[in-house]
Amino acid sequence: MLKLFRSKIYLAILLMVSVLAMGVLGYRFLSNLSWIDAFYMTIITVTTVGFSEVGPMDTQEKVFTVILIILSVFIFAFALSVITEYILSRNSLQLLKKKKVKNMISNLSNHVIVCGFGRNGMQSAKRLTAYKKPFVVIERDKEIIEKHEDEVLFVEGDANEDEVLREAGVDSAQYLIVALPDDAANLFVVLSARQLNKELFIISRASLVTSQKKLQLAGANKVIMPDKIGGDHMASLVVMPDLITFMDKLSTEGEHTTNLEEVAIENFEGQANCSSIRDLDLRNKTGCTIIGYIEPNGNYIINPEADTKLEPQSKVIVLGRPEQIHKLNEMFNIG
């Protein structure tokens, strides 16, 4: 629809330029006026301001002036109507778009809310998109929203405000990623979100070591320090470059390129013997190897024994090539 309006605007501009050019050329050659005088006569004629003419006009010039006035009235009226329609329609489209986004968000459940669309927030959104995990971004910068609104669901506003969090669906959300650049702002968001949803899993960014404990006390389940992680990673590339490069190769970019998968034991029930890792026998069935086991209480076991008993509400971490992970997901209908 906007393309149609743009084409109408271009047509209106072309017609206005054409009538101006027609007036200047007409007065220049019919009345033998200078270019400046011809332009002056054209402007006072098409705008109908009533200023005096440059000189007396004969019958031919008067007829030309009448025709120019009639054409200019219709063309400028058309241009004004197109511009007015464009402005009103643009506002209507914006309202419709906001209503559509609001309806889409209201239909979400167990989704992720990302607060802030800076470097960390944008990377989080990219990863969530790769895994087809529904998410909403809270951002107050209109320029950022307009730039990415075709790719991401946005809620415009300050994440510190309860109403903005509610608009993003905090009551039905499963995760909250707080990626604002200021630790104090992150702290307020965590406090507000925890009061609104006690079951929410909150992951917060922190810049200072002293902020980590405060964010956890405020209700954050996990606190991530991007600068610390980046520094550790660079130093590790010096100490053990091959190992870190190998770890980087364990891509988790998306469902078709991942080498690692986290699977709940409940996904295997009814389709495989879930008594122990040995009974599960994922290596022979899919080619994937279980490299980790997460107990119901959250305790992590790295490289668990084959006889490790599998309990309800536990999870296994499997490693495999993308095609092996795909086979695993298909065999056990893992979404």
For residues 226 and 115, membership in a common domain is answered with yes
Residue 75 structure tokens: 């063309």
> According to the model, what pLDDT value does residue 259 have?
81
For residues 89 and 117, membership in a common domain is answered with no
Q: What does DSSP say about strands 222-224 and 260-264: parallel, antiparallel, or unpaired?
A: unpaired
Q: Is residue 237 included in any domain, yes or no?
A: no
- Residue at a domain's end among 180, 204, 231: 231
Q: Is residue 244 included in any domain, yes or no?
A: no
For residues 52 and 161, membership in a common domain is answered with no
> According to the model, what pLDDT value does residue 7 have?
75
H/E element holding 300?
strand 300-302
For residues 128 and 218, membership in a common domain is answered with yes
Q: Is residue 69 included in any domain, yes or no?
A: yes
Q: pLDDT of 114-173, one tens digit each? A: 999 999 999 999 989 988 899 999 999 989 998 998 889 999 999 999 999 999 999 999
Chain mean position to CA 84? 30
> According to the model, what pLDDT value does residue 245 have?
80
CATH number for the domain spanning 147: value is 3.40.50.720
DSSP, collapsed to helix, strand or coil, labels residue 147 as: helix
CATH number for the domain spanning 320: value is 3.30.70.1450
> According to the model, what pLDDT value does residue 57 have?
76
- 172/200 Cα distance (integer angstroms): 9
Residue 107: C-alpha distances to residues 41, 97, 103, 104, 188 (Å): 62, 16, 6, 5, 27
Q: Is residue 125 included in any domain, yes or no?
A: yes
> CA neighbours within 13 Å on the CB side: how many for 303?
0
Q: Is residue 241 included in any domain, yes or no?
A: no
Q: Is residue 138 included in any domain, yes or no?
A: yes
> CA neighbours within 13 Å on the CB side: how many for 215?
29
> According to the model, what pLDDT value does residue 270 have?
78
Low-confidence spans in the chain with pLDDT less than 70: 1-6, 50, 87-96, 251-258, 335
H/E element holding 327?
helix 322-331
For residues 159 and 127, membership in a common domain is answered with yes
For residues 327 and 276, membership in a common domain is answered with yes
For residues 129 and 192, membership in a common domain is answered with yes
- Residue at a domain's end among 103, 127, 147: 103
- 6/23 Cα distance (integer angstroms): 26
| pTM for the structure as a whole | 0.64
- 134/130 Cα distance (integer angstroms): 10
For residues 23 and 63, membership in a common domain is answered with yes
Residue with tokens 């991530």: 224
Q: Is residue 25 included in any domain, yes or no?
A: yes
Range of the structural domain that residue 123 is part of: 109-231
- Residue at a domain's end among 103, 121, 147: 103
For residues 115 and 222, membership in a common domain is answered with yes
Residue with tokens 């405060």: 214
Say if residues 293 and 314 touch (Cβ distance below 8 Å): yes
Give me the number of domains the chain comprises.
3
